[in-house]
Each structure stands twice: as structure tokens, then as C-alpha cells.
Structure 1
Amino acid sequence: MQLAFCLYKYFPYGGMQRDFRRIALTCQARGHTIRVYALEWQGEVPPGFDLVRVPVRALTNPGCYRKFTAWVQADLARRPVDRIVGFNKMPGLDVYFAADPCFAEKARSLRNPLYRLTRRYRHFAAYEHAVFAPESKTEILTISAMQQPLFARHYGTPARRFHLLPPGIASDRRAPPDAAEIRAAFRSEFGLGADDLLLVQIGSGFRTKGVDRSLRALAALPEALARRTRLIVIGQDDPKPFRLQAAALGLGERVQFLKGRDDIPRFLLGADLLIHPAYAEAAGMVLLEAVVAGLPVLTTAACGYAHYINDADAGVVIPEPFTQTALDEALAKVLGDPKTRARLQRNALAFAERTDLYSQPERAADIILGRRG
């Protein structure tokens, strides 16, 4: 079959983008042809992918997305395909990969009511409706059980159209036999002593991922613990406002910001705790990447994959509604107790052995390729 994959922006380090790549490669490995429509593409194009950079521009993102949709639909009318798979919400999809949380729920719970009068709201609400309305034919691949009831409540989407996928953690995230040696080399490279503690926060979109919360929690540590604790934040975003916040909190050189990179497994093995206090996250792949590496996790219940941390007893999940005090206290407690961290590490590695955290691409390909038009 000829498959068309649609996404607005591709860069190598985004969670949704990595899901797209692995699912598309799995479909290709089964003998199908891959065409990709994208506004922006960073990084290498996989061999055999027909990448179509959609040549539209607009003053606003909604305007650009409307032009993208129109251009793609016109091109598909000239060059039809067997399946249209979207990784962003848009009209005309056969299959949608639900990487983003419910927009209608966020608009009502996190925004001023006046926001619903804006053009931006109307655009994203209409595109979400096109996917989830009862009359839509789009099949929906979900990565978090907590999101389905929200979509169903706002749109009345039939349950039969939802397909809950297992996570798709890449095998290179699992702790290898020489994990101890990799950890020692990493900590030597970054100047970490035996008593030093390293927090890592990994993910693009620093505001949504709660980097501001992490900085406040680091600043609130007891002095004796604070002196030996560092934070490294990794992702594709502008770190300037968070550097200013760190400076205002007196964190100095204890915080480092790095761009997205390919050696994330080294950081997962070299750190002492993953901190991920996100405001909203449909899934949170990095939570499970930490688990399979044996790294304890401190996160929020707003993340779709947070329940895995509880299931594995591999960390601490801050309940909703979030309070900064709860995060501050949990961080101090976990960092200050090496026995607790060792127990959480053992639990994480055991959970990674007995649980299917890896087969998302194969299951997604089954549904995409088996869908009836």
C-alpha cells in the first residue's frame, strides 16, 4: 500500500516525532511505501521515505495549518494513497495518532473563558472536532488511557474507534550489561563526585514540561543537600527565560541547559533522578525510558504514563491538583535517601523485564494497515 503520514514539524528529539518515525519505518519494513507531508523537517530523511515539504506560510500557526491542510488535500487528490495517517489533529485522516492531550479539556480547565472567543481557539477546536466527532471515520491510536474519557465526554466519540497502544520504548534505552561502567565514565566527564547528585529533565517544550517547577524545587532543597545537587535540562527550546529564573533563584552553575542530543541513554544511566513535573502530557515517553534504564522518576499525575511509575514503584507521582510544596518535599526526600533510590532502581529494572513497554510501532502498524476504508 501507499501510505501518507502528515505532521507539521519533525525534529529528531521530539517524543511524538520519534513515535512517527518508528511506526512509519515498521510499515515500510512490511513492504509498504511511505510518503511524508511536513511543514518543517530537521535531520536526516530515512531511506525510501518520499518527503514532501509543504510550501506554505502564514502570519499565524493556525493560518499556516489551514494552508497545510488545503495543500495536502489538493496533492492527495492528484496522487491518491491508501491510508492517510496524521500525527497532528486535522481533517481528512484515516488514522490519527493521539500524541497531544484533549484541546477542549485544556481550553476549559486551564484557560480563561474569553479564550474560547479567539480565532486560535476556533481553529484548534474545529480540527479536533474533525477527528473526534461521532460522524468522523478516523480511527484513533491512543497512548494514554486517561485521555479517551476526555475526548468521549467532549465529542461523544464511539469507543470502538479508540485503540490503546502499548508504549514504544526503544531498546537502546534499556540498561546494558556495562551500565555501571557507562555511568562511571559519564560522571567523570561531567565532574560528578561520589557524593554528588544529578537531576536530569529531558524533553522539548520547557514550559509545558515544568522546568520552572523543577528550578523552584531545586532552590528549595536543604542547604546540605543543595550544595551537592545539579540539574541538567535537555531539549529543543529557548532556555533564556529559565536561565533568568535560575539566576534569580540563586542556582548559579548548578543548572545546565543542553540542546537535544543523541546520547540520552548516557544521561539516564549517569543521573540519580529524572524530574518531570509536567503541566500536561498525553504520555511522557521519557518516564518509561528512565524506568528501563533503572533511573528513579519524580513526575506529576498530569502525565499519561505516570501510572506506570506507580505500577512499577519506581518513583514518586505528585497528585493533581499540583502543589509546589509537594514537589519540593518529594525531591528532598528521594535525594536525601540513597536506600530509597536503590530500591526504586531495582523495582524499575524488574518492571522493565516483565512488562511490554516496547511494541507500540508493531501494534500501530497492525491497525494502520488493517483499517478498512
Structure 2
Amino acid sequence: MKIAFCLYKYFPFGGLQRDFLRVALACQARDHAIRVYTLEWRGDIPAGFEVILVPVRGLTNLRRYQRFSGWVASHLAAHPVHRVVGFNKMPGLDVYFAADSCFEEKARTQRGSLYRLSARYRHFSAYERAVFGREAQVEILILSPLQERLFQTYHGTPVERFHLLPPGISPDRRAPPDAAVIRSSVRSEFGLAGDQFLLLQLGSGFRTKGLDRSLKALAALPPALRARCRLFAIGDDDPRFFQGQARLLGVAELVRILPGRSDIPRVLLGADLLLHPAYNENTGTVLLEALVAGLPVLTTSVCGYAHYVVEADAGVVIDEPFMQDSLDRALLGMLDDESARRRWQANGLAFAEVADIYANAERAADVILK
């Protein structure tokens, strides 16, 4: 079979992009040909992939996305394939991998009524209906039962079109036998003393992931404890706003904002706590990556995968509605309680041994190819 994958941008460190690559490689491993339509590709191209950089321009993203969909439809008409799989919502798909949360729900609960008169709303609402509308024929690979219910609420999507997938955690995120040696190496590389805490925040899209909340929580720690902390935020995003916020909060010397990097499994082993106080998050793969590395997690309940933190008893989940004071107190409590951190670490490692969290790409390929 020939399978076309569509996504607006590919770069190595995005969660959606990593999901795409794993699924595409799983299909290729079953001897199917892979074509990719994208506006931008950063990083190496896997052997055997046909990557087509769609040559459209536009003054706004909306215009580029509209032209992208039109160009791809024309190209597919001239060069047909057996399946069209999307990782962004758009018309013309056979299968959609639901890496993004329900746009309609956010537009109606987090925005004012005037927003629904905007061109942006009309565009993204129409593209979401093209996938989830009652009359659409798209098969949907869903990652969160909560998101499935939201899509059904706003679009009336028939339940039989949803295919719930397990998380797709790469086995290389699990703590290896020499984890202690790697931890020492990472901390030495970053210049961390034995009594210092490395607080880690991972993921592109710093605003959505709640980096501003993490900076406030760091600033709220008692001075002696705060001086022992270092907060590293790693992701593909513009750091300037958050660097300014850190200066205003008086914690700039404790914060490093780094671009995406390929050795995240090592960095997870060198950290003491994962901070992920997201404003919204369809899944939150990084939460599970931390758990299986033995890294305690502090996150918010809006994340689709936050329930795994509770089930594994491997950290703390802040309930909604979010209160900054709750995050501040939770961070202080976690740093003050060494025995709890050791328990959370052990629980995360035990969870990694038994949880069904590794087969996402294979299950997705089953649906795409059936």
C-alpha cells in the first residue's frame, strides 16, 4: 500500500511530530510505502520516506493551511494513494491521529462570544468538523477518553469511528541498569552540586505547558530552598517572554531555557522532579516518560495522561480550577519530603514494568492498514 501522511510542520522534538514518525515507521516496517506532505521538515529524513514540501505561501497561517489542503488534494488526485492519514485536522483524510484537543470545546469555554465571529474560529471549526462531523467518514485514532467525549458532545461523532490507543512511550525512556552512573554524568555536565535540585520542564509551546506557572512556583519557595534549585525548560519555542518573567521574579540566575535536544532520556535521569503545570494538554506524553525513568511528576489534572500519575502514585496532580498557591505548596512539599520522592521514584519504575503504554504506533498501524 501507499500511505500519505499530512502534517503542517515536522521537527524532531515536538510530541505530535514524534507520534507521527513512530506511526509512519511502524507502517513502513510492514512493507508499505510512505509519502509525507508538510510545509516544513527539520531534521533527518528516514530512509525510504518520500517527503513533499508543499510549495504554498500566505500572509497568515490560516491562508497557508487552506492552500496546503487544496494543494495536497490536487496532488493526490494526480498521484493517488491507498490511505491519507492526518496529524493536523483538515479535509480529505481517511484517518486522523487525534494529537490535538477539541478546538470547539476550548473556543466555547475559554474564549468570549466575539471570538466565534473571527476568521480564525471559522477556519479551525470547519476543519475540525471535516474530521469529527457526524457525516464525515474519517476513522479517528484517539488518545484520551475525555477528549473522545468532548468531540462527541460538540460534533455528535459516532462512537464506532473512534479507536482508543494506548500511550506511545518509547522504551528508551525507561531507566537503564546504569541509571545512577548516567545521572551523575548529567549533573556533572550541568554543574549541579549534590544538594541541588534539578527541576525539569519539557515540551515545545512554553505558554501552553505552563512555564509561567513553574517560574512563579520557583520564586515562591523559601529563599534557602530556592537557592538550591535549578529550573531547566527544554523545548522548541521563543524563550524571551519567560526570560523576562524570570528576571522580574528575581530567579533568572536559577533558570535555563534550552532548545530541544536529542538526549532527553539522559536528562530525565539527571533531574529530581518534572514540572508540567499545563493550561491544557490532550495527553502529556512527557508525564509517562518521566514515570518510567523514575522521575517524580508535578502536573495539572487537565492533562489527558495525568491519571497515570495518580494510578502509579508517582507524583502530585493539581486539581482544577487551577490555583497558583496550590502549585506553590505542592512544589515546596515535594522538595521537602525526600522519603516521598523515593517512594514516587520506586512506584514509577514498578509501573514501567507492567503498564500497557508502549504499543501506540503498532495499534495505530493496525487501524490504518485494516
Same fold (TM over 0.5): yes
- CA distance, structure 2, for counterparts of residue 120 and residue 147 of structure 1: 21
> Which residue in the other structure is 2:82 paired with?
82
- CA distance, structure 1, for counterparts of residue 199 and residue 119 of structure 2: 40
Alignment of 1:228-247 (within 5 A): 228-247=228-247
Alignment of 1:217-296 (within 5 A): 217-296=217-296
Deviation sequence 1:66-107 (CA, Å, 0-9, x none): 000000000000011100000000011100000000000000
Q: Specify the code of the residue in structure 2 equivalent to 1:291.
A: L
> Which residue in the other structure is 2:47 paired with?
47
- Contact 2:221-2:328 within 8 A present in 1 as well: yes
Alignment of 1:1-373 (within 5 A): 1-370=1-370
- CA distance, structure 2, for counterparts of residue 109 and residue 320 of structure 1: 14
How many residues in Structure 1 have an aligned counterpart in Structure 2? 370
- CA distance, structure 1, for counterparts of residue 249 and residue 145 of structure 2: 37
Moved more, 339-348 or 221-230: 221-230
- CA distance, structure 2, for counterparts of residue 252 and residue 303 of structure 1: 28
- CA distance, structure 1, for counterparts of residue 241 and residue 143 of structure 2: 31
Q: CA deviation at 1:61?
A: 0.7
Deviation sequence 1:191-228 (CA, Å, 0-9, x none): 11121111000000000000000000000011221110
Deviation sequence 1:251-278 (CA, Å, 0-9, x none): 0310001100001011100000000001
Q: CA deviation at 1:162?
A: 0.6
Gap runs ≥5 in structure 2: none
User: Tell me, what secondary structure is at the counterpart of 1:281?
Assistant: coil
Q: Specify the code of the residue in structure 2 equivalent to 1:316.
A: V
- CA distance, structure 1, for counterparts of residue 70 and residue 202 of structure 2: 35
User: Tell me, what secondary structure is at the counterpart of 1:77?
Assistant: helix
User: Tell me, what secondary structure is at the counterpart of 2:71?
Assistant: helix
User: Tell me, what secondary structure is at the counterpart of 1:147?
Assistant: helix
Q: CA deviation at 1:315?
A: 0.6
Q: Specify the code of the residue in structure 2 equivalent to 1:216.
A: K
- CA distance, structure 2, for counterparts of residue 130 and residue 185 of structure 1: 49
Q: CA deviation at 1:188?
A: 1.4
Q: CA deviation at 1:144?
A: 1.2
Deviation sequence 1:125-156 (CA, Å, 0-9, x none): 00000000111000000111110110000000
- CA distance, structure 1, for counterparts of residue 30 and residue 96 of structure 2: 20
User: Tell me, what secondary structure is at the counterpart of 1:237?
Assistant: coil
Deviation sequence 1:13-53 (CA, Å, 0-9, x none): 00110010010001001010000000011001100000000
Q: Specify the code of the residue in structure 2 equivalent to 1:366.
A: D
Q: CA deviation at 1:298?
A: 0.4
Q: Specify the code of the residue in structure 1 equivalent to 2:366.
A: D
Q: Specify the code of the residue in structure 1 equivalent to 2:156.
A: G
Gap runs ≥5 in structure 1: none
- CA distance, structure 2, for counterparts of residue 196 and residue 340 of structure 1: 17
Moved more, 140-149 or 69-78: 140-149
Deviating runs (4+, > 4 A) in structure 1?
A: none
User: Tell me, what secondary structure is at the counterpart of 2:37?
Assistant: strand
User: Tell me, what secondary structure is at the counterpart of 1:195?
Assistant: coil
User: Tell me, what secondary structure is at the counterpart of 2:348?
Assistant: helix
- CA distance, structure 1, for counterparts of residue 38 and residue 309 of structure 2: 34
Deviation sequence 1:292-350 (CA, Å, 0-9, x none): 10000000011111111011011111011111011000000001111110000000000
Deviation sequence 1:148-174 (CA, Å, 0-9, x none): 110000000011111110011111111
Q: Specify the code of the residue in structure 1 equivalent to 2:311.
A: D
User: Tell me, what secondary structure is at the counterpart of 1:326?
Assistant: helix
TM-score, normalized by length of structure 1?
0.99
- Contact 2:243-2:252 within 8 A present in 1 as well: no
Q: Specify the code of the residue in structure 2 equivalent to 1:51.
A: V
- CA distance, structure 2, for counterparts of residue 185 and residue 309 of structure 1: 27
- CA distance, structure 1, for counterparts of residue 235 and residue 218 of structure 2: 19
Q: Specify the code of the residue in structure 2 equivalent to 1:233.
A: A
- CA distance, structure 2, for counterparts of residue 133 and residue 201 of structure 1: 36
- CA distance, structure 2, for counterparts of residue 199 and residue 111 of structure 1: 32
- CA distance, structure 1, for counterparts of residue 329 and residue 151 of structure 2: 34
Q: Specify the code of the residue in structure 1 equivalent to 2:72.
A: V
User: Tell me, what secondary structure is at the counterpart of 1:146?
Assistant: helix
- CA distance, structure 2, for counterparts of residue 325 and residue 146 of structure 1: 26
- Contact 2:293-2:349 within 8 A present in 1 as well: yes
